[in-house]
Amino acid sequence: MSATLDLAIELISRPSVTPLDEGCQQLLADRLAPLGFVAEHLRFEDVDNLWLRRGTSSPVFCFAGHTDVVPTGPLEAWASHPFQPEIRDGMLYGRGAADMKGSIAAFVVAAETFVREHPDHQGSIAFLITSDEEGPSINGTVKVVEVLEKRNEKIDWCLVGEPSSTCCVGDVVKNGRRGSLGGKLTVLGQQGHVAYPHLADNPIHRVAPALAELVSIEWDQGNAFFPPTSFQISNINGGTGATNVIPGTLEIVFNFRFSTEQTEAGLREQVEAIFNRHGLRYELEWTLSGNPFLTPRGELVDASVEAIRAVSRQETELSTSGGTSDGRFIAPTGAQVMELGPVNKTIHKVDECVAVNDLDALTIIYEKILARLLASA
């Protein structure tokens, strides 16, 4: 057993399914208070958020993460109860073990060790913890960042504990993420009998050529940091269920994952131009989940790469693949943002787990990053 494993077990034992926190944040605040971390609890509607900070000067190094977890799915499918952590064959099992209570435990123990060894460190150490990352993400990190921005409290370096690794800890880190732009399209037609199509207007037939065009477009070729922008249709719903009725409307949900080669406005303009050119009658709702961001080589990336090399003796891959994270709310403030966490192969799955040894390795990596950036000369 280690301090990181003990804390991870305690956190996983709390059934904090989004937006519940179940006292996880208070546990962190109480634990770090003796070391001089000042807690600010920020609740927006049903979401608990925690801003912890030790120090008042710059630069500010921030650990960012979430205490909420996704639902467990059927309990009978789990080999052990998801909120009763179990260690089997060197693996810690439980919901949130990899995403991301294991990382939070490593954050805390790394900070404790660093502060004890460097009580007069430079700058400040902070924690930004939410219970809204796995849900709508509208009352969590984004709201805390708004509070910090209003009082001009800036984060210089932010390490997000999302499970970035693929095969072993530190083999992949995320130094950026693609943007996510969603659309909900309602195509308007005229309901009628399939035997009298001249008296109706089939929205499925109307939109099909436009969809074929959208699917065939090469939006860009990506760049050195990002893969090409992708367009995907995720839902199509229309019809009454009857075989002899032409539907009056059709709903389509689609999503762009876009690189820095594109902008939200540019994508919207292109899509709407296609719908207009095809003569569609439609309604379209857009939702921007986040713009792409990139943290190039610099203090944070270099410190992380060197810490990983020192602990795991491997060269890490810088990547922008995968979905979105709360880093998308922090990067626009000017912070350097990077994601470094456990292996992600079991996240959101039944029997989610993390290697016990990986938790200790992460703790040491986080501590070495802190030392490189904030240790007193």
Give the number of other CB atoms < 10 A from CB of residue 249: 17
**In the 8-state DSSP scheme, what is residue 100?**
I
Peptide bond into 19 cis (omega under 30): yes
Minimal CA–CA distance to 67: which of 91, 41, 87, 49?
49
Cα–Cα distance measured from residue 375 to residue 114, given in angstroms and rounded to the nearest whole number: 8
User: Which residue type does 27 have?
Assistant: L
What is the rounded (10 degree) CA torsion for 189, 191, 195, 198?
-40
Residues 6+ apart with CB under 8 A from 64: 127, 128, 129, 141, 158, 159, 160, 161, 326, 327, 330
Tokens matching residue 358: 């990986």
Which helix (H) or strand (E) covers residue 35, if one does? none
DSSP 219-286: -----SSSPPPEEEEEEEEE--S-TTEE-SEEEEEEEEEE-TT--HHHHHHHHHHHHHHTT--EEEEE
DSSP class of residue 315 equals: P
Compute how many other C-beta atoms are within 10 angstroms of the C-beta atom of residue 136.
11
Q: Which of the residues are catalytic?
A: 68, 133
In single-letter form, the type of residue at position 9 comes to I
